[in-house]
Structure 1
């Protein structure tokens, strides 16, 4: 039991038990979250500072995480889809009013 407990986290046993997600460390997950939040902040900044005639840019795609799949059974491109759980679309004017 001692030998099994101390096997490396990135080893073959962990990959067999946990799949692809064993290859990602806590730091990798945190770094992906930072990248996603920075992309969302840049997207909001672009929405707020674009002229009214420009069309709203597409929201950024999240960094793909291992082991997550979408409704079709294919690997998802993020933690959750843009349509799922998202409220109504936010206009650049509303963002500007919120961030004042």
Structure 2
């Protein structure tokens, strides 16, 4: 910043340097909060874990005996930036076609579910 103040660094260059700071920098954390800690790889790994858990849950549901209780649906891996997820769970009809909803349940995919799926 001192170079900018002295006129040795242009404002455009300062903005370019700030824009391309690493994801774990203090500026990125201030702008994006906890979401700055998660890379694309982290989001893909969380989605993989969620899909495997749902696949295992569906397999268990199909292969339980007629007298057996169906297992409880798995909960998705918590992701940064989804503070309203706890609120949605308590709301009736909030998101019925999330990644843990069996086929046939729900009326359609909500915009919230699409946004949550794609991060």
Q: Select 1:53's aligned residue among 67, 70, 79.
A: 67
How many Å separate the matches in 1 of 2:102 and 2:39?
34
Deviation at 1:3, TM superposition (A): 1.6
**Deviation sequence 1:52-80 (CA, Å, 0-9, x none):** 1011110001000012123xxxxx46xx6
Q: Is 1:5 the counterpart of 2:19 in the alignment? A: yes
The answer to which structure has the higher helix fraction is 2
Residues 1-100 of structure 1: pairs in structure 2 closer than 5 A: 1-70=15-84, 76=85, 81=89, 84-86=94-96
How many Å separate the matches in 2 of 1:11 and 1:4?
10
Q: What residue ranges of structure 2 are gaps of 5+ in the alignment?
A: 1-14, 105-119
- Count of residue pairs brought into register by the alignment: 84
TM-score, normalised via structure 1 length: 0.72
**Runs of 4+ deviating beyond 6 Å:** none
Structural RMSD (CA): 2.5
Q: Which structure has the larger Rg? A: 2
Shift in alpha-carbon separation, 1:86–1:33, aligned structure 2, 3 A: same
